[in-house]
Amino acid sequence: MERREVVPRGVLLRRKFYNFLFLALNWLAVAVGLSVLFWILGYLTLRGLEGLSPELFTEVGGDPENGGLLHAFVGHAIISAMTVLIGVPLGILIGVYLAEYARFSKFGRLISNASDIMLAAPSIVVGVFVYVILVKPLGTFNAVAGAVALAILMIPVILKTTENMLRLVPDALREAAVALGAPKWKVVVSVVLPSAKFGILTGTILGIARIVGETAPLLFTSFNNNFLNFDVFKPMASLTVTIYYYALSPFPEWQKQAFAAALILTLFVLAATLGARFFLTKKFKV
């Protein structure tokens, strides 16, 4: 019969004390973090609701009394759409290459490590880089440069998510498809990608949520515009830059509009994050 070791009562009390102490510290940290978060969200909601009005979405800015943010909404949508068109295909394709074709190569590991570094790259540095290669040669700020800067920030997020999701697909599925005579590209397109579609979609949503709130790269690239502009080779307004300028302005109406636009962006990012969690949960249920 196995003999049980008797733990002294003092040791048990000490263990319970430390367990209670660190559990209490954990709950205290959670309470502090959540209280600050809800305080910020509550303040933003109260101030943002003051600036919400139909004119915010239907009138162009420039007038401190009667203007709106239509130009900023349209410009932000155009820049974001161009960013998605550039960043999503490149991110997915590079992720597929790293997971399926360069998994064990030194070049693949180099690209993967470089993408890890780019995930932590300061956005303002990316803005300065694109300013040098696209803004100065063209002689003017432009929306294309803004989209390229945001795409550089988006690609690593989608790339890493795609790579990680594809590596979670069992190799047995690939081997079964190859045994049936399917070429490599057919295995990737018809077997691997469908198996990881929800994870890739999650990464895409998170990548979009990452770039819609960026301000620093746009200050150096698309800059700003107080008029409705559809020319992507000219300066174009965006919500984030407009929020920055309006929040620092001395006009109370512009400050209200800045809080309203910040609230809208926050709600969009929140919805995108919840959508990503929904698709990720759905993936593991399938």
DSSP result, the chain: -PPPPPPPHHHHHHHHHHHHHHHHHHHHHHHHHHHHHHHHHHHHHHHHHHH--HHHHHS-S--TTT--SHHHHHHHHHHHHHHHHHHHHHHHHHHHIIIIISTTSHHHHHHHHHHHHHHTS-HHHHHHHHIIIIIHHHTS--HHHHHHHHHHHHHHHHHHHHHHHHHTS-HHHHHHHHHTT--HHHHIIIIIHHHTHHHHHHHHHHHHHHHTT--HHHHHTT---SS----TTS----HHHHHHHHHHSS-HHHHHHHHHHHHHHHHHHHHHHHHHHHHHHHHHH-
* pLDDT for 217: 93
Side-chain half-sphere CA neighbours of 267 within 13 A: 11
pLDDT higher for 62 or 39?
Answer: 39
* pLDDT for 282: 62
Q: For the chain, give the percent of residues with pLDDT over 90.
A: 50
Is the pLDDT at 286 greater than 50, yes or no?
A: no
Is the pLDDT at 211 greater than 60, yes or no?
A: yes
- Tokens coding 275: 């959508």
Amino acid at 275: G
If you average pLDDT over residues 246-263, what whole number do you get?
Answer: 91
The mean pLDDT value of the chain amounts to 88
Instruction: Indicate the pTM of the whole model.
Output: 0.85
If you average pLDDT over residues 68-88, what whole number do you get?
Answer: 93
pLDDT-based confidence at residue 218 (cuts at 50, 70, 90): very high
How many whole angstroms separate alpha carbon 35 and alpha carbon 1?
A: 54
pLDDT higher for 27 or 180?
Answer: 27
If you average pLDDT over residues 267-273, what whole number do you get?
Answer: 85
pLDDT-based confidence at residue 12 (cuts at 50, 70, 90): confident
Query: Does the domain spanning 56-285 belong to CATH 1.10.287.90?
Result: no
Secondary structure (3-state) at 238: coil
Secondary structure (3-state) at 177: helix
pLDDT higher for 260 or 12?
Answer: 260
Q: Crossing angle for the helix pair 143-167 and 70-96, nearest 10 degrees?
A: 40
pLDDT-based confidence at residue 283 (cuts at 50, 70, 90): low
